[in-house]
A and B are shown apart, each in its own frame.
Chain A
């Protein structure tokens, strides 16, 4: 059983640029969520995708967008990068089912630095 894999692990961008982060969900998982973890903070929910549609969004501006593909892999896109976007971006997958809590399985994250 493969876990959640994210790429790239580290990247550096400059203000105003655009970035795409990628995530492969754990096998058998049909839901993907993205979180932003700033230094010294806990992860903050960005959005969730289920069946290729956005299914919940946190308090992030529209320049944060995402995609989920038929194979349940996902992308996070951030346009017009700002210095405050520097953070660890975590992808998490789960299997949405009819009962019980859906425990998230997290990837190791992509660390973005905006200069």
Chain B
């Protein structure tokens, strides 16, 4: 049972344009959502997060939007840069203080110079 889904395995975007990565979830009890970025041969690195009580969080070029009624979140990167090329994982947490994260299958983002 895939509780966190990333339906686009890959995405290509021109440098300077906006990248939009999507994530859907099924469990309404998730209270916190995170995005991780992964380069080859490295572990995932934390990018940005959002609490379930908010609908938007922004950090520089990265913005995460949460639509609880649709059980959908998205990560916007603008402007996209070549260094943003990586695999992006959406993750969700069930309980405060519990480290267990449920990850999606990832989206490979390629920024075209």
Interface residues of A in 41-73 (CB under 8 A from B): 41-45, 48, 55-56, 58
Question: What is the bound-complex CA distance between A94 and B34, given in angstroms?
Answer: 15
Asked if residues A42 and B99 are in contact (CB atoms below 8 Å), the reply is no
- How many angstroms between the C-alpha atoms of A104 and B101 in the bound complex? 9
B89 cross-chain contacts in A, Cβ below 8 A: 42-43
Within residues 1 to 52 of chain B, which ones have a CB less than 8 A from any CB in chain A? 4, 6, 32, 34, 36, 41-46, 49, 51
Given contacts A4-B43, A42-B106, A109-B43, contact A103 B100 (CB under 8 A): no
Given A45-B101, A58-B100, A101-B34, A108:B41 Cβ within 8 A: yes
Most buried by B among A41, A42, A104: A42
Interface size grouping (class) on chain B: 20 to 34
User: What A residues does B91 contact at CB under 8 A?
Assistant: 42
Task: Enumerate chain B residues within 8 angstroms of A43, measured Cβ to Cβ.
Answer: 44, 89, 101, 103
> In the complex, what distance in Å separates the CA atom of A83 from the CA atom of B87?
25
Residues from 41 to 66 in B contacting A, C-beta threshold 8 Å: 41-46, 49, 51
**What 1/0 mask marks residues of chain B from 102 to 113 whose CB sits below 8 Å from any chain A CB?**
111110000000
Q: Known contacts A56-B98, A56-B100, A96-B97: does B42 contact A105 (CB below 8 Å)?
A: no
Choose one: A40, A41, A106; the contact of B43 (CB below 8 Å).
A106
Which residues of B pack against A, CB within 8 Å?
Answer: 4, 6, 32, 34, 36, 41-46, 49, 51, 89, 91, 93, 97-106
